[in-house]
Structures are given as structure tokens and as C-alpha cells.
Amino acid sequence: MASLDGKNVLVISTNYGVEQDEIVVPIEQLRKRGATVTVAAQETDAIQSLVGDKDPGKTVDPDTTIGDVDAGGFDALVVPGGTINADNLRTDQQAVALVQAFAGAGKPVAAICHGPWTLVEAGVLPGKTITSYPSLQTDVRNAGAEWVDQEVQVDGGFITSRNPGDLPAFVDAIEQALTA
């Protein structure tokens, strides 16, 4: 039996600009570990990922839309980065409401790279310690959180990482949160 059998994980993204590995690797690794992973995008069209915010990457087919999911049916939320994705996701009120719902229910919220911008917008970070892509430091501090520079930071239900190089630690921390 895989360690995450019976666990339902939601990954949210815009339809353009998500960093390829930050969406593909968590989906593949969490599924390999037994989780049921649902990908929700703003629209039902394919998600066009990017590599390094500029080169076209793999496409990912969403299972549903952000507006059609309910946090109640999931055990954890994953917010991948990519500058374009994260900047647009944080202005999506349905995405922000999902972050608030997961955090309010005490369910793990995992965000990598620029993904924590959505957590900033959701107002869920006061008193927390997180990491992110370094350029978000001021935003994180202005949101009432402490910023640290490490591959993965876990504070309560928040799991954060800095960049695609941190993905192994990021996915392991999600697994640990779901099996604790």
C-alpha cells in the first residue's frame, strides 16, 4: 500500500505560465505515492507550463476548474509557482478563497517559488514562518510572516519551498503532513 492511499490533493493553476516542474513533479510524485490528485485551472483548456518563465513546457490537462471545487473534498492544497501563474492566481478571488478555506480548516497548504503570493493575498500568513522565491521576501514580511532561506519550511499547515531545485524536499514534506 502506498503511503498516501485515500488522500485527495488539489493542485490549482492558471492556464498559462505555471513553472513546468512545479506542477508536473508534485502531481506525478504524489500520485506515485498513492494520492488522488485533482488539477483545477481557471478554465477547462489545457494548462501551458513554462520553463524558466519563458520557454514553453509540457501541457497539463486540468480535471476541473477552480470555481467548481470545494475544499471540503480534499486533504491538501498545492499552489505551484511560475511568476506569471502566481501573479494571476493571486488576483483570482476563487483561488484566494480556496487558500482561505484550506487554511481555515487546518488542512495542509503547500506553495512553492512564487506560489506563496496567493497565501499573501489570502491573508493567512501573520505569525508564520515561510520560504519562497527570494524576490517575495518583502511581500511575505509585509503580510506579517517571517521569511527564511531554506529548501523547505513547514509551519503548522503551511509547507513552502523556494524553487524547482527544492521539489524533492517539498513533496516529501507534503507526504509527511498528510501522514502525520
Backbone angles phi, psi at 95, to 5 degrees: -65, -45
- Catalytic residue chosen out of the listed positions 7, 90, 107, 114: 114
**97 Cβ contact partners less than 8 Å away, ≥ 6 residues apart:** none
| Residue with grid cell 509527511, as numbered in its chain | 176
Q: Do 112 and 167 form a contact (C-beta atoms < 8 A)?
A: yes
Given CA atoms 142, 82, 129, 147 in this order, what sign does their dihedral have? negative
Q: Is the dihedral of CA 45, 163, 11, 27 positive or negative?
A: positive
What are the distances in angstroms from CA 76 to CA 16, 45, 55, 62, 157? 23, 23, 29, 17, 9
Grid cell in block for residue 105: 480548516
Rounded-to-integer distance, Cα 7 and Cα 36, Å: 6
114 is catalytic: yes
Q: Give the residue numbers annotated as catalytic, written as ranges.
A: 114
